[in-house]
């Protein structure tokens, strides 16, 4: 028997699974092993993945910054796909748009337009790409158009089109031609009569400088449950069960399972919409084209700071002083920083003072320099 750190329920050992407390979409696969745990039940792993992790990852702001982060490492000599960027739901209504479907527009690496006709899910309407479970099981169609800049690097475009909507049952239709390229070899399907009519519709409606209305939905609280989950996971991995049972640990638990109308949890920190992080702070703790997690001892306890690309920043107290011993605090020392770059399969764990010294050019670190070089940036 074991206890799940998220739902707090006691379950059989076979009900547990490996959890990266820093999720994969942030580069958690490259985090040190101490940030992985088997104290998470299968049901939390799956449900919190859809309702908590995905709420954060598929938020329009986060998803586009993560996309920008990964495309910064594109190497022209070694072409690979880059993720498409979601622009939201369009006001276009293509022929025979199925009932309850929306026409979502995505942009390719050179401004190519892609229209995905997919089912709308009211509950998850603030997720780019809709409900990830539904679109894995229901067949949908997407229409891919080239832009005038595709010719700059058509292979990049085709590779990105090929990998777009990966893992979803999407019939892909190419609305254009490239000399010497068989669309089927990039995952495109021969259009049927309906596709032919829709192709004409999309080509006609994207010609010239037509104005389009786009709708992007953002849930103002998209990050609150996610931050509590991250704080619980990190605190547990660092300090064990005692932090879960502390008064503050219970507030984090309330925050993770928060529902509209519940008592507000007394969680300390800042969310995206509640905070005005100064650019200097973002530059100090963040790293260009990377995700950073900073751990810091504060008078109140150990705080966790999450930063994406020096642009987006969150802070949360993850363990309060009530339970921490001198040894616990010593683990954090003068602060620790974990820097993750998923595109380079890299995770670097450093003492904070050393990291800051590198950022100010006082000392240097080969792996940090490597990240800057690969993203074509010279100095921080």
Which residues would be at the binding site for Zn ion (CB under 5 A)? 4, 6-7, 41, 44
Q: How far is the CB of 302 from Zn ion (least distance, A)?
A: 23
CA–CA separation, 207 vs 222, rounded Å?
Answer: 36
Q: Nearest Cα to 272, choosing from 199, 346, 340, 218? A: 218
- Looking at the Cβ atoms of 20 and 141, the one nearer to Zn ion is 20
| Cβ proximity of 262 and 254 under 8 Å | yes
Query: Which helix or strand (DSSP H or E) is residue 87 part of?
Result: strand 85-90
- Can you say whether residue 269 is alpha, beta or left, with left for phi > 0 and alpha for psi between -120 and 50 degrees? left
Q: How far is the CB of 231 from Zn ion (least distance, A)?
A: 16
CA–CA separation, 192 vs 67, rounded Å?
Answer: 32
Beta-strand relationship, 85-90 and 36-41: unpaired
Burial 186-210 (b: 16+ CB within 10 A, else e): bbbeebeeebeebbebbeeebeeee
Q: Copy the structure tokens of residue 85.
A: 């960027």
Q: How far is the CB of 46 from Zn ion (least distance, A)?
A: 10
Q: How far is the CB of 157 from Zn ion (least distance, A)?
A: 43
CA–CA separation, 89 vs 117, rounded Å?
Answer: 10
Q: Copy the structure tokens of residue 152.
A: 């700059």
Q: How far is the CB of 40 from Zn ion (least distance, A)?
A: 6
CA dist 211 to 56, 144, 351, Å?
30, 19, 50
CA–CA separation, 164 vs 142, rounded Å?
Answer: 10
- Looking at the Cβ atoms of 13 and 185, the one nearer to Zn ion is 13
Query: Which helix or strand (DSSP H or E) is residue 226 part of?
Result: helix 224-239
- Looking at the Cβ atoms of 4 and 170, the one nearer to Zn ion is 4
- Spatial neighbors of 179 by CB under 8 A, at least 6 apart, are none
- Looking at the Cβ atoms of 49 and 132, the one nearer to Zn ion is 49
- Looking at the Cβ atoms of 41 and 173, the one nearer to Zn ion is 41
- Looking at the Cβ atoms of 4 and 105, the one nearer to Zn ion is 4
Q: How far is the CB of 262 from Zn ion (least distance, A)?
A: 18
Q: How far is the CB of 246 from Zn ion (least distance, A)?
A: 19
- Looking at the Cβ atoms of 43 and 205, the one nearer to Zn ion is 43
Q: How far is the CB of 12 from Zn ion (least distance, A)?
A: 12
Beta-strand relationship, 269-270 and 312-320: antiparallel
- Work out the number of other CB atoms within 10 angstroms of the CB of residue 223: 25
Q: How far is the CB of 257 from Zn ion (least distance, A)?
A: 11
Q: Nearest Cα to 372, choosing from 380, 364, 360? A: 380
CA–CA separation, 191 vs 187, rounded Å?
Answer: 12
- Looking at the Cβ atoms of 2 and 119, the one nearer to Zn ion is 2
- Looking at the Cβ atoms of 46 and 220, the one nearer to Zn ion is 46
- Looking at the Cβ atoms of 11 and 171, the one nearer to Zn ion is 11
Q: How far is the CB of 56 from Zn ion (least distance, A)?
A: 18
């Amino acid at each position: 028997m074991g206890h799940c750190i998220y739902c707090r329920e006691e379950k059989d050992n076979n009900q547990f699974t490996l959890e990266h407390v820093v999720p994969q979409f942030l580069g958690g696969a490259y985090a040190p092993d101490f940030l992985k745990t088997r104290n998470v039940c299968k049901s939390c792993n799956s449900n919190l993945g859809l309702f908590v992790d995905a709420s954060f990852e598929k938020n329009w702001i986060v998803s586009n910054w993560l996309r920008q982060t990964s495309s910064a490492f594109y190497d022209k000599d070694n072409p690979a796909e880059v993720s498409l960027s979601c622009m939201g739901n369009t006001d276009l209504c293509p022929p025979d748009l199925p009932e309850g479907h929306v026409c979502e527009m995505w942009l390719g690496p050179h401004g190519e337009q892609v229209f995905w006709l997919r089912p709308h899910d009211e509950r998850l309407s603030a997720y780019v790409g809709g409900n990830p479970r539904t679109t894995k099981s229901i067949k949908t169609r997407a229409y891919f158009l080239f832009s005038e800049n595709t010719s700059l690097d058509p292979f990049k475009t085709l590779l990105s089109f090929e990998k777009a909507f990966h893992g979803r049952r999407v019939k892909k239709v190419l609305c254009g031609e490239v000399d010497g390229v068989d669309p089927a070899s990039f995952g495109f399907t021969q259009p049927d009569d309906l596709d032919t009519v829709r192709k004409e519709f999309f080509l006609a409606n994207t010609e010239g400088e037509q104005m389009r209305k786009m709708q992007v939905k953002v849930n103002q609280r998209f990050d609150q449950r996610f931050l509590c989950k991250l704080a619980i996971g990190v605190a547990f991995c660092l300090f064990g069960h005692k932090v879960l049972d502390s008064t503050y640990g219970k507030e984090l638990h309330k925050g993770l399972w928060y529902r509209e109308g519940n008592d507000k949890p007394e969680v300390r920190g800042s969310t995206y919409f509640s905070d005005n992080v100064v650019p200097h702070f973002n530059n100090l703790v963040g790293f260009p084209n990377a995700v950073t997690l900073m751990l810091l001892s504060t008078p109140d306890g150990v705080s966790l700071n999450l930063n994406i690309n020096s642009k987006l920043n969150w802070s949360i107290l993850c363990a309060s002083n009530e339970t921490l011993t001198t040894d616990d605090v010593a683990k954090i020392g003068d602060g620790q920083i974990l820097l993750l770059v998923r595109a380079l399969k890299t995770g670097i764990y450093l003492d904070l003072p050393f990291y800051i010294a590198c950022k100010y050019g006082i000392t240097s670190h080969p792996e940090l320099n490597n990240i800057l070089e690969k993203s074509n940036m010279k100095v921080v």
